[in-house]
């Protein structure tokens, strides 16, 4: 799976849950701009943050 496919999977999972970026960020305890960087694979989250996002979006943590 290439980067574009991973980004699309993460974004689609969030949208399928009916969540905005700020809502996921708030649930995880990070700011929205940091979450946007994580979702776009421009930021590398800590294991705790990646696990929290994966749990919220019901995706595998390996996508980060």
The pLDDT of residue 64 is: 80
| Mean pLDDT calculated for residue range 22-32 | 98
- What domains lie within the chain, and their CATH numbers? 3-57 (1.10.260.40)
The 3-state DSSP class for residue 57 equals helix
The pLDDT of residue 62 is: 87
CA distances from 45 to 18, 23, 37, 63 (A): 22, 17, 9, 11
The pLDDT of residue 53 is: 96
Q: Is 9 exposed, middle or buried (0-12, 13-18, 19+ CB in 10 A)?
A: middle
pTM exceeds 0.85 for this model: yes
The pLDDT of residue 50 is: 94
Q: Which residues have CB under 8 Å from 2's CB, separation 6+?
A: none
Using CA atoms, how far apart are residues 45 and 37, in angstroms rounded to an integer?
A: 9
The pLDDT of residue 1 is: 84
């Amino acid at each position: 799976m290439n980067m574009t496919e991973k980004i699309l999977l993460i974004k689609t999972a969030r949208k399928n849950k009916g969540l905005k970026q700020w809502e996921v960020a708030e649930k995880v305890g990070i700011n929205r701009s940091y979450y946007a960087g994580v979702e776009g694979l421009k930021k590398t989250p800590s294991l705790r943050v990646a696990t929290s996002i994966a749990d919220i979006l019901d995706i595998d943590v390996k996508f980060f």
